[in-house]
Homo-oligomer: A and B are copies of this chain.
């Protein structure tokens, strides 16, 4: 079934969770609400008409390495050309470098749409955008002059080269070598793996951003530098010169995102690939970390996207497929399975998780926008800290639920869900990379507990929890029967979050292993409390302003989340606070016996 961008849902989250109107009024972002809607609607059209029809084609055909060239699936190059010509590549870049300067909130909303309709395709502009950020933030004026505008337009694509076979989560272990030349350039030697769109023929040039180590650099993460390595060298006049010494050695055979070429890249098989330093020597990882919040948020949005797509497909099937007789069905007739209570629980779970994750991601984007726009240091610091706190939740909660929602989506289809032609299985396969790349969700949870929870001595978190409590109080004060136990369940979730946060904060000092053992359930608990909060804010807004029909639906989803999903929060608290000993009871030898 055809993808349709959930324009109203996205705008609802932008307004009720992420405070779009408030930001516009305060001048923190320089677009008006009509423009935001228009951009989202236009993106939705492009996605429905151009990207969505290629999604299944790409999955079946896959990208292939043929005679040293990477062939993308049929229609891919044309779609990319249309994407660039439509100006979509430039959308997220700032105006200073030739982009459209749209706020992060809108860029992320649009990215959801690209990723929903065709995750494999969307990775090419996403990685290009990440590379643009690196060059724009730390590249020399000369590098920016030569490379930026063609990357911003999408004429050239970009890649990020971090991982090596023995250095995944642990980047400190990387071995790719950079040797400084007399002319100020560097020669790069080494192998990088898992390079998304590492090679292809859709653009004339590919700009690789590569982490490598200088011979005299300190060991570990402090001796890593960042280099720009073009596939084709660029002449002084901007024209393309010789091929650089970088090749795609092979493509991976993956569980999902088949059309996105995941390359093993070899640098310096001959004389060394010519590279240009980005930023300072040995500070490459700092540059990467600057961009990491946005990249991680972007992956969280991909989680929302796949969850949304899987939900749309499951709902469409459940309306059409008839089996058994529901409570309202007539004797002798089969009922659409969407009428069965059991299927309704499945679909409500899919909807509620998707909408909660979307709200978390868009709120995180909002904080980035506030941080970018802030004129006073305090506002900037507060927004930056809030974005830092929420980023691991946005990344990990959204991608965990993407896998869960995609799995429920298969289930709703019954036997047809297991048949590849149905399409539900592709979402289940595609989703599975999301909890892994851009920092595994385990790493996100550790980041949350060890770096984010202690931010400003815990005050960043305390301030956030205080806001959650305000929502709970508003829900309770509203005293609406149609809110059911929303207030009670969300209060219990916030209590659980606060208690575990306190416990983790204390335990992190005394027994760090025990705190780390609780990191994953803590992140889940955080996501439930946070997601429930934003949906409740939406319900409050809908109750105040919404037309009766749509308000009822917003309230129902928020209430469902609180009464059916956030109910897991107190149990997660028990797991975190009293489960560490048994988690760590078996030493590795006994665990593997």
B residues near A421, Cβ cutoff 8 Å: 253
Smallest CB-CB separation from A325: which chain B residue? B170
Cβ-based interface call for A341 (8 A): yes
- Rounded to whole angstroms, the CA-CA distance of A570 and B573 in the bound complex is 12
Q: Is the CB of A163 within 8 A of B520?
A: no
- Rounded to whole angstroms, the CA-CA distance of A590 and B437 in the bound complex is 36
Segment at the B interface, from A147-155, A210-218, A559-567: A559-567
Cβ-based interface call for A74 (8 A): no
Cβ-based interface call for A489 (8 A): yes
Q: Is the CB of B348 within 8 A of A411?
A: no
Q: Is the CB of A563 within 8 A of B588?
A: no
Q: Is the CB of A415 within 8 A of B442?
A: no
Segment at the B interface, from A114-122, A467-475, A574-582: A574-582
| Given contacts A253-B421, A433-B418, A567 and B556 within 8 Å (CB-CB) | no
Q: Which of A302-325 contact B (CB under 8 A)?
A: 315-316, 318-319, 322-324
Segment at the B interface, from A84-92, A222-230, A289-297, A511-519: A511-519
Smallest CB-CB separation from A411: which chain B residue? B435
B residues near A345, Cβ cutoff 8 Å: 517, 520, 583
Smallest CB-CB separation from A437: which chain B residue? B415
Q: Mark A515-536, 1 if CB is under 8 A from B, else 0.
A: 0110111000000000000000
Q: Is the CB of B440 within 8 A of A414?
A: yes
Q: Is the CB of A323 within 8 A of B564?
A: no
Q: Is the CB of A586 within 8 A of B339?
A: no
Cβ-based interface call for A256 (8 A): yes
Cβ-based interface call for A327 (8 A): yes
- Rounded to whole angstroms, the CA-CA distance of A582 and B549 in the bound complex is 16
B residues near A166, Cβ cutoff 8 Å: 322
B residues near A567, Cβ cutoff 8 Å: 571-572, 574-575, 579
Shortest C-beta distance, A123 to chain B (Å), equals: 13
| Given contacts A345-B520, A415-B436, A567-B575, A339 and B168 within 8 Å (CB-CB) | no
Q: Which of the residues B347, B432, B489, B571 comes within 8 Å of A418, measured between beta carbons?
A: B432
| Given contacts A436-B415, A582-B564, A553 and B338 within 8 Å (CB-CB) | no
**Which of A255, A403, A420, A489 gathers most chain B CB within 10 Å?**
A255
Shortest C-beta distance, A209 to chain B (Å), equals: 18
Q: Which of A379-409 contact B (CB under 8 A)?
A: 403, 407
Cβ-based interface call for A265 (8 A): no
Shortest C-beta distance, A530 to chain B (Å), equals: 17
Q: Is the CB of A324 within 8 A of B419?
A: no
* 27 intermolecular pairs with C-beta atoms under 8 Å apart: A166-B322, A173-B323, A173-B334, A253-B420, A254-B420, A255-B425, A315-B592, A327-B512, A336-B588, A338-B588, A338-B591, A344-B584, A344-B586, A345-B520, A346-B442, A348-B583, A348-B591, A407-B407, A410-B436, A411-B441, A414-B436, A429-B429, A484-B581, A552-B586, A559-B585, A563-B574, A570-B571
